Structure 1
Amino acid sequence: MAISVRGLVHTYPSGVTALQGVDLDVAPGERVAIVGQNGAGKTTLVRHLNGMVRPTEGEVRIGDWSTTEKSIAELAHRVGYVFQNPDEQIFARTVATDVGFGPKNLGFDEERAQRAVSDALEAVGLAHEADVHPHHLSLSERKRIAIAAVLAMQTPIVVLDEPTTGQDDAGVQLIAAIVGSLIAQGRTVVAITHDMDFCIENFDRVVVMAQGEVRADGPAEEVFADVAALEAAAVEPPQLLRVARALGWSGTPRDARAFVDQLAQQRGSGSSA
């Protein structure tokens, strides 16, 4: 299901204009990361996708729907949104009840809903916590509950706002696997992240925002080579990319394995690096 954003402007009641004419297209099945410093307009942009925020000017379309013509409840059939702060999303007395709220409200029958909850909790590594009160768990676990709640809704589009917040390495790898699984299912993933290493390892396309505008949009390797756009957005390239450039390499290693492979090539070619 395609996402189309045209001439999107959003001004809050306070008078602050958070988006200044954003154009963006996301094809079905893409994985797109949106990066930029706080206040760049990232969250305002993605909250238009499920109707939480409405355009001041311009249009947002989810498939053949204009978001201004649909309620949040209707858009929830197409867009699942994971909040940056899981405590804004979690409300039930048990993990399973919380995760099952979305499927129930989307009209899943009992068998499908139970299966969706079970599969989602298994995916986030919390199947053993199904009957626990969510607020008895850690922040990182609550974040994964929020992710599970959206996974269980089985929407064609999934929006993740800072999915790696509070996660240790195992948690980050788990979320990376979830992103990969969603893409393998043909679903679309849009993520806001400040974790540039997670970004380049898991997202093919990167959108850079600054001051309510898109400053760069393209393949991750190309975007992270756009020094002017990154400086405007106060974004540092991923650490392995910074090391590669400091060593004078021309390649763009996206993960540790690629870095090691390129190091071996450099040594094999007789480079001092």
Structure 2
Amino acid sequence: MTDHIVFDQVHYGYSPEQPVLKNINLTIQQGEFIALIGGNGSGKTTLAKHCNGLYKPVSGTVRVGGRDTKTCSVAELVSQVAYCYQNPDHQIFQSTVGEEVAFGPRNMGLPADEVEARVSEALQAVGLDQLREEEPYFASKGTRQKIAVASILAMKPQAIILDEPTTGLDHRGVEEMMSLIRKLHRDGHTILVITHDMRLVAEYAGRVLVLSQGEIICDDSVQAVFAKPDLLAKAQVEPPAVCRFGMSAGLARPLPLTLSALKDRLAKEQKGTYR
């Protein structure tokens, strides 16, 4: 893996008395799937918006693909990192789905045939090619979220940041969105997901960053992070129910992260075959 996004002693705040990020040192490598968790006001979104230059450090440096974000515009970094907002309606403003997805590539100055190819590829990736001529505003929340993702994919970023991508979705919508995100990761995209849903973190992420009061208080694998309930409590987070059950049942580590893994572990423990 190669270093894609690097934070070096990053501080950010609206005044010296109100720091939002404090001494952030972080390296995100190409191809990782990272969950960013913490309570409200912990600095998650602020940190994520430094990854594509939406916010610039007050001190310290953020480098994306080797480039200092202080010397680059968001447009210059869009092929490196793209940001998908929590509310897709904050991104969608064109009259048709196809026009919405085409906006980014056109703004990049690409020729018409390349724009068309990217629109088709992005819509097919999210399973919405049949809605190209439809108005996006009347679509369901889940479909609008997919349109927002397609508009990002059309710019072919290496990394994709998704801010609470499953908020407001029903169970089916959550599964469809997470299946799409997993596919994007398998296709080679770096994924950074901001979420309060610890079940999704357990099932999908490979690495977890825990923020509290503007500081990263833990950076580790999913199993290692969820085995530290006292530390998570400081960040106003608790492990998912499966992990809590595993700890209360006295299961040896590594803790199971999913219900199916828990069932399998309990069956093996009962038979005395777990190693």
Q: Label 1:270 to 1:7 Cα distance change in 2 as closer, same or farther (>3 A).
A: closer
2:259 matches 1:256: yes
Structure 1 residues 141-173: Cα deviation after superposition (integer angstroms, max 9, x where no partner): 222211121122111111111111122222222
The aligned residue for residue 194 of structure 1 is 196
Provide TM-score, normalisation by structure 1.
0.92
Q: After superposition, where does 1:1-273 map in structure 2 within 5 Å?
A: 2-12=4-14, 16-250=18-252, 251-269=254-272
| Distance apart, 1:93 and its partner CA | 0.8
Q: Is the 8 A contact 1:208 1:229 kept in 2?
A: no
Q: Is the 8 A contact 1:140 1:165 kept in 2?
A: no
- Counterpart residue identity of residue 80, structure 2: R
Higher mean alpha-carbon deviation, 42-51 vs 249-258, is at 249-258
Unaligned runs of 5+ in 2: none
SS in 2 for 1:61: strand
Aligned equivalents of 1:178, 1:139: Cα separation in 2: 15
Structure 1 residues 49-73: Cα deviation after superposition (integer angstroms, max 9, x where no partner): 1111111111100011000010111
Unaligned runs of 5+ in 1: none
SS in 2 for 1:102: helix
Q: Is the 8 A contact 1:201 1:255 kept in 2?
A: yes
Structure 1 residues 74-96: Cα deviation after superposition (integer angstroms, max 9, x where no partner): 01121111011212111111111
Aligned-residue Cα RMSD (Å) equals 2.0
Aligned equivalents of 2:41, 2:57: Cα separation in 1: 17
Aligned equivalents of 1:3, 1:58: Cα separation in 2: 14
Aligned equivalents of 2:223, 2:217: Cα separation in 1: 15
Aligned residues: 271
Higher mean alpha-carbon deviation, 124-133 vs 62-71, is at 124-133
